Chain A
């Protein structure tokens, strides 16, 4: 079984400032890691994913995340945010191998970008 903890339910930030959204996970097996973004009244959209290889993953809209196996973290970062980045962000994990096809989602972090 696995679990995901998004440490901040809300992150307010000013436009053009850097931001980090934190995600920690626990799992008894190796995992794949994902970040999704949800704009109001829309479905979730994949931002980026870590399947294997380089631990620094770049995604859409200028976001990146770093997989840290020793700290079981997958924090999302952007060096300079825009008003349009205001949205809900979800971290998710999925087990490598095994019989489960069910990913585990965090509860979400609301990013609020102020002008």
Chain B
């Protein structure tokens, strides 16, 4: 069966510090991968998606970036965090354009 991991689970970072969130998927190959952010009490905002290694599409211009160095690894990064980057970050994978399977999420607080 397939599983999706995200780490860390929680993170508190000062403004201006770098960020690296990691997501890995097990039990499938060539998944579509997605990064979402949820602000408090809000819906899902798609940040990036990837249909293959090295193929990244950005949905919202901001100070975040994503990379997919391996087939089942998706990394979200920032060189300098802003207060507005606080939120709940969710990674998801999908077989083609069907349902998505979400990770447990990372709660990021920028102070």
Give A residues with C-beta under 8 Å from B.
Answer: 32, 34, 36, 41-46, 49, 51, 90, 92, 94-96, 100-103, 105-108
Per DSSP, chain B at the interface is: strand
Stretch of B63-71, B73-81, B95-103 at the chain-chain interface? B95-103
**Which chain B residues (4-47) contact chain A, with CB distance < 8 Å?**
6, 32, 42-44, 46
8 pairs, CB–CB < 8 Å, chain A vs chain B: A32-B98, A41-B88, A43-B104, A45-B102, A101-B94, A103-B94, A103-B97, A108-B43
Residues B90 and A43 in contact, CB atoms below 8 Å apart:
yes
Per the bound structure, the CA–CA distance linking A9 and B100 in Å amounts to 22
Between A94, A103, A106, the greatest number of chain B beta carbons within 10 A of the residue's beta carbon is seen for A103
Give B residues with C-beta under 8 Å from A.
Answer: 6, 32, 42-44, 46, 49, 51, 59, 88, 90, 92, 94, 96-105, 107
Q: Which residues of A contact B105 (CB under 8 A)?
A: 41-43
Q: Which residues of B contact A106 (CB under 8 A)?
A: 43
Q: Decide: A102 near B99, CB < 8 A? Known: A41-B107, A42-B105, A43-B105.
A: no
Between B32, B90, B92, B98, the greatest number of chain A beta carbons within 10 A of the residue's beta carbon is seen for B98
Between B46, B59, B100, the greatest number of chain A beta carbons within 10 A of the residue's beta carbon is seen for B100
Q: Decide: A34 near B99, CB < 8 A? Known: A43-B90, A101-B94.
A: yes
Residue of A with least CB distance to B94: A101
Per the bound structure, the CA–CA distance linking A38 and B85 in Å amounts to 21
Q: Which residues of A contact B103 (CB under 8 A)?
A: 43
Residue of A with least CB distance to B32: A101
Per the bound structure, the CA–CA distance linking A19 and B96 in Å amounts to 32
Residue of A with least CB distance to B4: A43
Q: Which residues of A contact B90 (CB under 8 A)?
A: 43-44
